[in-house]
Amino acid sequence: NAGVMQNPRHLVRRRGQEARLRCSPMKGHSHVYWYRQLPEEGLKFMVYLQKENIIDESGMPKERFSAEFPKEGPSILRIQQVVRGDSAAYFCASSRKAVQETQYFGPGTRLLVL
């Protein structure tokens, strides 16, 4: 049973470009979460999605960031017009159910904005 998959593992963008990060949850998991980790810090929650629905986006910056989890295909975290401060590791996690369930994390995408 494959774990949570994320791609790309590393992404380099210039300021002003768009970044698209993909996450495929574990088989049988329909709940996806995105977290961001800045250097030397713990992870910070960004958004929680179920298929075709955003459940909790309280951790998402108000501008330039969006997330989706379509009926078919992976979840996408999209960052428009990236700035240097967006450089971080972005982790996706998935769980089987929503309530009080263990979240399993992917290997992360390391975004570097030049």
Partner 1 sequence: SQQGEEDPQALSIQEGENATMNCSYKTSINNLQWYRQNSGRGLVHLILIRSNEREKHSGRLRVTLDTSKKSSSLLITASRAADTASYFCATADGEYGNKLVFGAGTILRVKS
In the complex, which residues of this chain contact partner 1 (CB under 8 A)? 4, 31, 33, 35, 40-45, 48, 55-56, 58-59, 91, 93, 95, 98-108, 110
Smaller CB distance to partner 1: residue 17 or 110?
110
Smaller CB distance to partner 1: residue 42 or 85?
42
Closest approach of partner 1 to the CB of residue 105, in Å: 4
Smaller CB distance to partner 1: residue 17 or 22?
22
Distance CA 12, CA 113 (A): 6
Smaller CB distance to partner 1: residue 17 or 26?
26
Closest approach of partner 1 to the CB of residue 99, in Å: 5
Task: Tally the C-alpha atoms within 13 A of residue 21's C-alpha that lie toward its C-beta.
Answer: 33
Q: Residue 36: beta bridge partners?
A: 44, 90
Closest approach of partner 1 to the CB of residue 8, in Å: 14
Distance CA 8, CA 51 (A): 21
Closest approach of partner 1 to the CB of residue 46, in Å: 10
